[in-house]
Structure 1
């Protein structure tokens, strides 16, 4: 009951911009959730092999990695709302086009376009939430944001699997997948409505002769250092994730011959477990501090990742996937809160874009590597190998994160009381 009251008080304290952001985020993530589950099967149904799937995923991630830093700088200068609006329009239209085209060159071209367009939303949403909230709200806020994103992906995954199977009862498999993808694109485009209703107030720029300019430069140097240290940690995690996460649906289909609906259900349950873990995240932070909470959650996920890698039983693989998914991702909002609290306001867009860029770079590089290993060694040892490599990369990334950022986790938490809520501020 106390936990419910705490979260209810937090949600009530959020302003109109944050609530509209939640609505827009849910709509885009439902649309993307459909694509995440179904698009690999669309490529396969067109008659292409897993290497084409690998190229499509790699090109999407590569495009995002290329554009993220320029987009982050543009977000800092031109405004968050404007970039989110342009990103939603262009991404939605490209997703619609991807649902129709069939040639390999166009599949890869529009995958690249998706990576470019979606980056404008990615780089803007976290700084936007940070700028529309108070420091003591952010651990809870980012937890809710990522939980809502994950829950929306659950809905998208379920829609993707179920609608495809339902449509396939009356129309050919390829057409059933295509109609489901079009539904996903329409849902993504509907996020334009809440984005257009947001209100952005751009801060007044400091003149070059202002006496605060020198402290500002010192703050920027410190921010660059923090951004770089976070980027190294995220790069290792991104390399590991790029080996397995884009291909989980293919893993369940190839190793266990699971149906689209069953795969959608398992992936949805994994995302639901992640949403719950993210909500619990602030309690872990109160006990361990931000840095230790991230590291402990990530390390606890590794045994479940290895279980998924080596088991020959579907439900054991599903169980391992659920716990790995929840534990590994539960630390994401905590990391975002920590980074946003350490970086100057004028560089929040850049910080988020660099963080996203290195993660996508890992996906771009490791996607073709993963598909190549699976094609060479088969559905058992191929996936076992890539999952094991991922576990090693996660371990190295977690240890690095603890060593580099442990001094940030030493700060004591201070409870901030008012008549409605008890929040936690990390000093």
Structure 2
């Protein structure tokens, strides 16, 4: 069996230009995401909004990602992936700047929604772009590399931006410090736009513009319908449960840490960054683990082992213990994400990958939006701990479905490893 190091050396020797470009876009977009995850909820709280409104803003954002799945898929077919990606990135930066600087609730809600639509282009096009530009033998590694790079960017952004907010807090109010950092990080999206301008190749610039719009819409809807059956439907049920459970807690991690432990933004950034370091390490060793033990076995073990640490987080016991719990929960629950994502591309046909990616994004983010909305209300009315118990139930059921449906998938094709996400 190849070592993890040799797998990645081989991958980088064969990586295409478009995959390199997309990895660059992923890095800068994820740094922006890290600022959002660490500081946005705290910023809104410091601006005078309660947990229920924070949950509403975050849920509308995620709802935009979900409902953007269909129009993004249609736009990508009508125009091309390159143009769609650039338009989506520009929508993201304009929308987020308005949300951060115009504190009128209905305007914030509207542009949080449009930000989600823009963000959906990154999520939906990532799988097809990487899949179409990577040889079959390197796809697991390619998706794992994208996953690792996302987490490296998240660690970097969490550490740097969290401490930058704390440092600026010595000169400005906490609210103004968060506002400055969030605005500066949002501007990094312009770098991603410049990178996207360099995309080339048939898969990136081809379109179906000669078809009538009604035909494109019909083809897209029919593509969705064909996927709503059999293993694909069961896969989507699992995605919905994980999305619902994650939505109730993940967007609120920074607020949970800050207001249950009474710590600074910098310490929050440290804990969030540390929680991702194990995910980076796990993501790097996933390809050889999957080849040796099988994808589903690796996924099930990782997800089940994460549950005890999720329980531990719901009972905060000091910075050291909760940091360790965050580290292992994030590592185990997320390190197998590239493997789980590979199932979506594998069970979809060659012509349905963009549709499948859109449908997975729609399902995940729709239920995640519901989870965020419920999580904000539950935290506001009850406690920051309560949503964790519901999340545990969702994770257990989702993991069980994944095992029952896909437990035999590696046996007939032990040497095939097709990945996504």
Would you call these one fold, judging by a TM-score over 0.5? yes
Q: How many residues align?
A: 404
Q: Is the 8 A contact 2:53 2:376 kept in 1?
A: no
The secondary structure found in structure 1 opposite 2:384 is helix
Q: Is the 8 A contact 1:243 1:387 kept in 2?
A: yes
Alpha-carbon spacing, 1:76–1:139, altered in 2? closer, same or farther (3 Å)? farther
Alpha-carbon spacing, 1:83–1:104, altered in 2? closer, same or farther (3 Å)? same
Alpha-carbon spacing, 1:151–1:294, altered in 2? closer, same or farther (3 Å)? same
Q: Deviations over 1:116-175 (max 9, x none)?
A: 111122111111110101222111111110110111111121232111111111122222
**In structure 2, how many angstroms separate the alpha carbons of the residues matched to 1:175 and 1:410?**
56
The secondary structure found in structure 1 opposite 2:407 is helix
The secondary structure found in structure 2 opposite 1:190 is helix
Query: What is aligned with 1:304?
Result: 309
The secondary structure found in structure 1 opposite 2:249 is helix
Alpha-carbon spacing, 1:265–1:409, altered in 2? closer, same or farther (3 Å)? same
Query: What is aligned with 1:131?
Result: 132
Matched, 1:242 2:243: no
Counterparts of 1:11-410 in structure 2, within 5 Å, are 11-202=12-203, 224-225=228-229, 226-377=231-382, 382-410=383-411
Report how far residue 426 of structure 1 moved.
Answer: 6.5
Report how far residue 357 of structure 1 moved.
Answer: 1.3
**In structure 2, how many angstroms separate the alpha carbons of the residues matched to 1:109 and 1:426?**
38
Q: Deviations over 1:47-99 (max 9, x none)?
A: 11111101101111112211213322433453222211111111112222222
TM value normalised by structure 2: 0.90
**In structure 2, how many angstroms separate the alpha carbons of the residues matched to 1:33 and 1:188?**
13
Q: Is the 8 A contact 2:50 2:380 kept in 1?
A: no
**In structure 1, how many angstroms separate the alpha carbons of the residues matched to 2:54 and 2:207?**
46
Query: What is aligned with 1:419?
Result: none
Q: Is the 8 A contact 1:23 1:191 kept in 2?
A: yes
Report how far residue 347 of structure 1 moved.
Answer: 1.3
Alpha-carbon spacing, 1:241–1:70, altered in 2? closer, same or farther (3 Å)? same
Report how far residue 360 of structure 1 moved.
Answer: 1.0
TM value normalised by structure 1: 0.89
Q: Is the 8 A contact 1:161 1:261 kept in 2?
A: yes
Q: Deviations over 1:199-239 (max 9, x none)?
A: 1304798xx9xxxxxxxxxx998755343232111000001
Alpha-carbon spacing, 1:223–1:133, altered in 2? closer, same or farther (3 Å)? farther
Q: Is the 8 A contact 2:76 2:207 kept in 1?
A: no
Q: Is the 8 A contact 1:28 1:189 kept in 2?
A: no
**In structure 1, how many angstroms separate the alpha carbons of the residues matched to 2:198 and 2:16?**
13
Q: Is the 8 A contact 1:33 1:153 kept in 2?
A: yes
**In structure 2, how many angstroms separate the alpha carbons of the residues matched to 1:220 and 1:338?**
17
The secondary structure found in structure 2 opposite 1:413 is coil
**In structure 2, how many angstroms separate the alpha carbons of the residues matched to 1:53 and 1:192?**
28
Alpha-carbon spacing, 1:384–1:170, altered in 2? closer, same or farther (3 Å)? closer
Structure 1's unaligned 5+ residue stretches are: 209-218, 415-423
**In structure 2, how many angstroms separate the alpha carbons of the residues matched to 1:397 and 1:331?**
14
Q: Is the 8 A contact 1:135 1:341 kept in 2?
A: no
Report how far residue 105 of structure 1 moved.
Answer: 1.9
Structure 2's unaligned 5+ residue stretches are: 212-222
Deviates further, 236-245 or 285-294 = 285-294
Deviates further, 186-195 or 286-295 = 286-295
Report how far residue 356 of structure 1 moved.
Answer: 1.3
**In structure 2, how many angstroms separate the alpha carbons of the residues matched to 1:136 and 1:125?**
18
**In structure 1, how many angstroms separate the alpha carbons of the residues matched to 2:225 and 2:297?**
26
**In structure 1, how many angstroms separate the alpha carbons of the residues matched to 2:281 and 2:333?**
13
Query: What is aligned with 1:215?
Result: none
Deviates further, 121-130 or 170-179 = 170-179
Report how far residue 395 of structure 1 moved.
Answer: 0.5
The secondary structure found in structure 1 opposite 2:409 is helix
Q: Is the 8 A contact 1:30 1:155 kept in 2?
A: yes
Alpha-carbon spacing, 1:402–1:77, altered in 2? closer, same or farther (3 Å)? farther
**In structure 1, how many angstroms separate the alpha carbons of the residues matched to 2:240 and 2:228?**
16
Matched, 1:413 2:414: yes
Q: Is the 8 A contact 2:243 2:365 kept in 1?
A: yes
Report how far residue 276 of structure 1 moved.
Answer: 1.2
